[in-house]
């Protein structure tokens, strides 16, 4: 990739990740998916694992950056019980898009490695973990809390 574009490293990795996220937003808008598979049910062992991997520190970082406030407005979550089911659906959409993008990102990492662009692969890995893997864990942690509230469609 770096030879085609003429630049590499963190700027390239961030640009690729942002473009991938825009693509995923368009994809979910253009082709709404049912997202009802068993994959979205959070297992009892997951939240403790995510806690050990630092998911709450990641959440706190997003809060400091103002991301949570921005997303809450975009998702229409107003804190009422009536807004919980649409919010739960949006956690599935966000998780699906980040899982999809993690797969695309892994392919780009593999291609970069095969082409000898190890620094690009490293930056793609680092940004992919921060922008896709941790968001999946965060969405699943949020949905575990929603499952405990017995929201229809959340289990």
- At residue 50 the predicted structure's pLDDT band, cuts being 50, 70 and 90, is very high
Q: What is the mean pLDDT of residues 23-38?
A: 84
pLDDT over threshold 70, residue 2: no
| Residue 86 forms part of a structural domain | yes
- The pLDDT of residue 151 is 63
Q: Is residue 24 part of a domain?
A: no
Please give the tally of structural domains in the chain.
1
What is the rounded average pLDDT of the residues 16-36? 88
pLDDT of 152 above 70: no
Residue 38 in any domain: the answer is no
Would residue 2 count as lying in a domain?
Answer: no
Q: Judge whether 73 lies within some domain.
A: yes
- What domain range includes position 126? 43-155
- CB within 8 A of 18, min separation 6: which ones? none
Answer whether 0.95 is exceeded by the pTM.
no
Indicate whether 37 belongs to any domain: no
Per the domain annotation, does 83 fall within a domain? yes
Cα 64 from Cα 10, distance rounded (Å): 22
Please state the φ and ψ torsions of residue 86, each to the nearest 5 degrees. Answer: -60, -35
How far apart (Å, rounded) are the C-alpha atoms in residues 4 and 36? 40
Looking at per-residue confidence, does 63 or 35 come out higher?
63
Q: Is residue 72, in this structure, part of any structural domain at all?
A: yes
The whole-number pLDDT of residue 147 equals 85
């Amino acid at each position: 990739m770096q030879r085609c574009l003429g630049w590499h490293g963190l700027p390239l990795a961030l640009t690729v990740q942002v473009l991938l996220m825009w693509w995923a937003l368009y994809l979910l808008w253009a082709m709404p998916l049912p997202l009802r598979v068993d994959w979205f049910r959070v297992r009892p062992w997951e939240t403790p694992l995510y806690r050990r991997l630092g998911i709450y520190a990641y959440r706190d970082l997003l809060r400091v950056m103002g991301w949570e406030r921005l997303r809450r407005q975009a998702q229409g979550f107003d804190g009422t019980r009536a807004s919980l089911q649409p919010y739960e659906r949006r956690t599935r959409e966000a998780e699906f898009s980040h899982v999809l993008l993690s797969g695309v990102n892994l392919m780009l990492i593999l291609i970069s490695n095969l082409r000898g662009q190890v620094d690009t692969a490293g930056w793609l890995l680092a940004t992919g973990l921060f922008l896709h893997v941790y968001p999946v864990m965060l969405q699943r942690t949020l949905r575990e809390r929603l499952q405990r509230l017995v929201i229809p469609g959340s289990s």
